Amino acid sequence: GLATAVGYPLDTIKVRIQTQHMYNGVWHCIQSTYQREKVYGFYKGMALPVLSVSVCGSVCFGTYRNCLHFLSQLRHGSSDVKPARLDVFIAGCSAGTAEVSNLFNDN
């Protein structure tokens, strides 16, 4: 969410320059946006991207943690044991697969 909050104003400026041909450059767009809309203009419409990034992160980390827990239970009988590298690798692959499938479902 924090990465989105930092990068979103830059994306807003980029999109405005690409779609509205009234700006003479980046600084002109920044000044005009601030004069007309103040700080809110740079963050308008940011709620949905922050929400979607948060959900994607939750799915990714949740999948990783649950898979690692399951593998530790299956191989060692307890999730308190330090996981093997193979378990971490498989859990990471599962989380990556969940993230990629989530991206394809969004589009």
List of E strands, the chain: none
Q: Where are the domains of the chain?
A: 1-37, 39-106
Please count the other Cβ atoms lying within 10 Å of the Cβ belonging to residue 25. Answer: 9
Q: Residue 95 and residue 73: Cα distance in Å, rounded?
A: 18
Q: Residue 15 and residue 88: Cα distance in Å, rounded?
A: 40
Which tokens belong to 67? Answer: 């898979």
Which tokens belong to 47? Answer: 């709620």
Write the pLDDT tens digit of every residue in 41-98.
898 988 888 888 888 888 889 999 999 999 988 887 877 878 889 999 999 999 988 8
Q: For the full predicted model, state whether its pTM sits above 0.85.
A: no
Write the pLDDT tens digit of every residue in 4-30.
888 899 999 999 999 988 989 889 999
Q: Residue 107 and residue 102: Cα distance in Å, rounded?
A: 9
Maximum alpha-carbon separation in the chain:
65
Of 46, 47, 11, give the one whose Cα is nearest residue 29: 11
Of 70, 57, 69, give the one whose Cα is nearest residue 96: 57
